[in-house]
Amino acid sequence: MNFLEKFFKLKDKNTTVSTEIRAGFTTFLAMMYIVPVNASIMSLTGMPFDALITATAVVTIISTILNGIWSNTPVAMSVGMGLNAYFTFGLVKGMHIPWQTALGIVMISGLIFLALSFTKFRVWVLDSVPVDLRRAISAGIGAFIAFIGLKGMGIIVSNPATFVSLGDIKSPDVLLGIFGFLLAAVFYSYRIKGAFILSIGLTSIVAWVLGLANLPKGIISMPASILPVAFHFDLISALKLSLLPVIITFLVTDMFDTIGTLAGIGLRAGLFKNSKELQKTLEADAAATVIGASLGTSTTTSFIESAAGVEEGGRSGLTAVVTGLLFITTLFFLPIYKAIPDNAIYPILVMVGVLMFSELKNIDFSDHVIAVSSFITVILMPLTYSITIGLSAGFVLYLILALLKKEFDKINIGTITLALIGSLAFIFH
């Protein structure tokens, strides 16, 4: 205990070992849903579900413990929601990019982020891009993954006359999805710990009882091999000029997502007053993406669910280490994960979309340049099935409108650079 207190500087952070353990357990409950959810999403690319369960758990374990030890902050890390959906539906299914090439894109963006984490580049980007555009990107990703969730649930279906329309809401599978969404929404509204994983569990039980899904063929098993997905990233195929906007999308989105998450957690707990802690957390976040791409997952990032542990009093890296160690248990529940029906998973995408979409409330729509570029950013992500198109259109439109309105104070090297890179998304489309 004395070693833990000294190593994690618990007295300086006004916390105790017992408090940190409780906080770590709370964070684990809040984010353990990511293991089955990420595996379900990424397996649609053709990657083996069993291997993805192991990869997601291992990446979460390594990156979370790494951050706890390296930065001594209570921030847990795992595969980011939003970019994993874009990886699957935008790149592999939408652009018909092999998943190995998509992993190469994630690896390149991670390596760039890691290199830039040791420079002042992140400060330059944050100073260059208006905060409202960053909020629009988050809201757009929320709309994108919510659209995927609603489509997966069968609530939204294709229609040759109107492109999309309401699905058969009398279908048992659709009703199961609606039930799962209501559970997740209610549990979250009541701030119940582990709201999302509890919703997945109860919805699955209902599906098993009603015969809408096959019962698990056991409860515990040895972890599946990670080899079918680990170290299969294809860097050569990813190094194409036409894919540069996609690489920048992963890089910029991961950076904004991380900064936004850390800012939110920091406000709740008075963390990151020491810039060194923020710097080291960013370094760990960037390293986690490289580790994730190596082991076969999409972009890894800081999880806002870490705030649940912070609310329980977590203030040091011990909280993160406890969370990471608890994720070891998720390696052994493969039979249960494989029996979870899709409509217990898709409602969680919609709920995560709700949380990300809430960023819209902070956008200054009285500024017409911001209003138009933010709206286009948000609306194009789900309608084009591409985060890259929405992000690129937002940057390009922002620059054009600022120039036409002669609001030159809004223009800098950063906005010009991102707009030029963004234009490549349309040139090579």
pLDDT value for 269: 64
On whether the CB atoms of residues 253 and 144 are closer than 8 A, the answer is no
CA dist 107 and 52 (Å) reads: 17
pLDDT value for 369: 96
pLDDT value for 1: 63
Query: How many distinct helices (H) and strands (E) make up the chain?
Result: 20, 4
**What kind and span of H or E run contains 301?**
strand 300-302
Mean pLDDT by 10 residues, the chain (429 residues): 87 92 95 96 97 98 97 95 93 95 96 85 72 90 94 95 94 97 96 93 97 94 97 96 91 83 72 75 92 96 90 93 97 96 96 91 94 96 92 94 94 87 83
pLDDT value for 424: 85
Number of domains in the chain: 1
pLDDT value for 193: 86
pLDDT value for 17: 94
HSE-CB of 28 using CA atoms within 13 angstroms: 22
pLDDT value for 374: 96
On whether the CB atoms of residues 32 and 200 are closer than 8 A, the answer is no
Which tens digits make up the pLDDT trace of 285-335?
A: 999 999 999 999 999 999 989 988 998 999 999 999 999 999 999 999 999
* CB proximity list for 241: less than 8 A, separation 6 or greater: 424, 428
Domain hosting 54: range is 2-357+365-427
Q: Which residues are paired to 156 by β-bridges?
A: 166
Q: What is the pTM of this model?
A: 0.89
